[in-house]
């Protein structure tokens, strides 16, 4: 037992995950990180699925997987780590069974994120019918830009999203190609979980996912939100 812990705790509490907010020196405290799978038809197809028969679905990362450092450490236990550029939606309010019409008011802001994925472990999990935790929810697996509040960006329902690797365009799409639009995904998610202020949602990736290697430079962009630059180390 350590004598160093904060009073009232048997061990030192972990730091609270936060996102910086553009235009302010205040921070957005992160509660949970939800992710949407196969939310762009072209990406579902490239992964071997028929989007007409297999709708999007949810999985999670850990809040402390958010990575604001600009560096992505190539993780252990994989030889095939992929980039997935995604719009991140941050919730300022939550609730249960939120109506689609009420969902836009829950959005506090947006960020540019990368859902880094151990594709080999994900393929094995799919094959064996196992969870995706080791493929998705590992350390530093969610590089993320600062949050842009809706007060600056306006509500987003369209806009280019792309990712360059070492200056070469790899992923391109438009937010308007999402199968579940942002209000629909908030409404649907709130039927499974009690959404809370501080929850963030990675909203799925357009097509063009592929492997990264140490030394790669990833440059992501979403119109109306901004840029995210990450080096694989």
Angle at the Cα of 211 from the Cα atoms of 208 and 214, rounded to 5 degrees:
135
Extended beta strands in the chain, E state: 18-20, 27-29, 33-37, 57-61, 66-67, 71-72, 81-83, 85-91, 107-114, 117-118, 142-143, 148-149, 160-165, 168-174, 200-202, 210-211, 217-222, 226-232
Tell me how far, at minimum, the Cβ of 25 lies from Mn ion, in Å: 31
Tell me how far, at minimum, the Cβ of 47 lies from Mn ion, in Å: 10
Tell me how far, at minimum, the Cβ of 59 lies from Mn ion, in Å: 8
Under 8 Å between Cβ of 198 and 60: no
Closest CB to Mn ion among residues 190, 205? 205
What are the respective helix, strand and coil percentages of the chain, to the nearest 5? 20, 35, 45
Residues 141-180 as x/- pattern, contact with Mn ion by CB under 5 A: ----------------------------------------
Closest CB to Mn ion among residues 141, 205? 205
Tell me how far, at minimum, the Cβ of 182 lies from Mn ion, in Å: 15
Q: Residue 55's CB: how many other CB atoms inside 10 A?
A: 13
Residues 76-95 as x/- pattern, contact with Mn ion by CB under 5 A: --------x-----------
Which residues are CB-neighbours of 78 under 8 A, at least 6 positions away? 118, 119, 120, 121
Closest CB to Mn ion among residues 115, 219? 115
> Rule CB under 5 A: is residue 219 a binding residue for Mn ion?
no
Q: How far is CA 218 from CA 90, 104, 225, in A?
A: 22, 30, 17
Tell me how far, at minimum, the Cβ of 86 lies from Mn ion, in Å: 6
Closest CB to Mn ion among residues 27, 193? 193
Which residues are CB-neighbours of 170 under 8 A, at least 6 positions away? 83, 163, 164, 208, 210
Q: Which of 39, 141, 203, 205 binds Mn ion (CB under 5 A)?
A: 205
Nearest residue to Mn ion by CB is 115
Closest CB to Mn ion among residues 21, 122? 122
Closest CB to Mn ion among residues 38, 108? 38
Distance from the Cα of residue 63 to its chain's centroid = 10
> Rule CB under 5 A: is residue 115 a binding residue for Mn ion?
yes
Closest CB to Mn ion among residues 197, 211? 211
How far is 65 from 94, CA to CA, in rounded Å? 21
Binding piece for Mn ion, criterion CB under 5 A, among 14-22, 62-70, 109-117, 123-131: 109-117
Report residue 183: phi and psi, to 5°.
-65, -35
Tell me how far, at minimum, the Cβ of 121 lies from Mn ion, in Å: 14
Q: Which residues bind Mn ion (CB under 5 A)?
A: 84, 115, 205
């Amino acid at each position: 037992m350590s004598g160093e812990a904060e009073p009232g705790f048997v061990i030192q509490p972990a730091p609270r995950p936060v996102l910086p907010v553009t235009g302010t020196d205040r921070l957005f405290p992160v509660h949970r990180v939800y992710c949407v799978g196969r939310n762009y038809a072209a990406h579902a197809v490239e992964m071997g699925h028929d989007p007409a028969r297999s709708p999007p679905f949810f999985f999670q990362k850990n809040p402390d997987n958010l990575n604001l450092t600009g560096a992505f450490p190539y993780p252990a236990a994989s030889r095939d780590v992929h980039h997935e550029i995604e719009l991140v939606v941050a919730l300022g309010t939550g609730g249960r069974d939120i109506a689609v019409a009420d969902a836009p008011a829950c959005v506090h802001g947006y960020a540019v994120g990368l859902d880094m994925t151990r594709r080999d472990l994900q393929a094995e999990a799919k094959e064996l019918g196992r969870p995706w935790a080791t493929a998705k929810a590992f350390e530093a697996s969610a590089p993320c830009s600062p949050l842009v509040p809706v007060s600056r960006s306006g509500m987003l329902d369209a806009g280019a999203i792309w990712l360059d690797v070492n200056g070469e365009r790899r992923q391109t799409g438009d937010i308007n190609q999402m199968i579940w639009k942002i209000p629909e995904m908030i409404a649907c998610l709130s039927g499974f979980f009690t959404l809370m202020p501080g929850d963030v949602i990675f909203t799925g990736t357009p097509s063009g996912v592929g492997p990264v290697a140490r030394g790669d430079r990833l440059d992501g962009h979403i119109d109306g939100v901004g840029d995210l630059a990450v080096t694989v180390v």
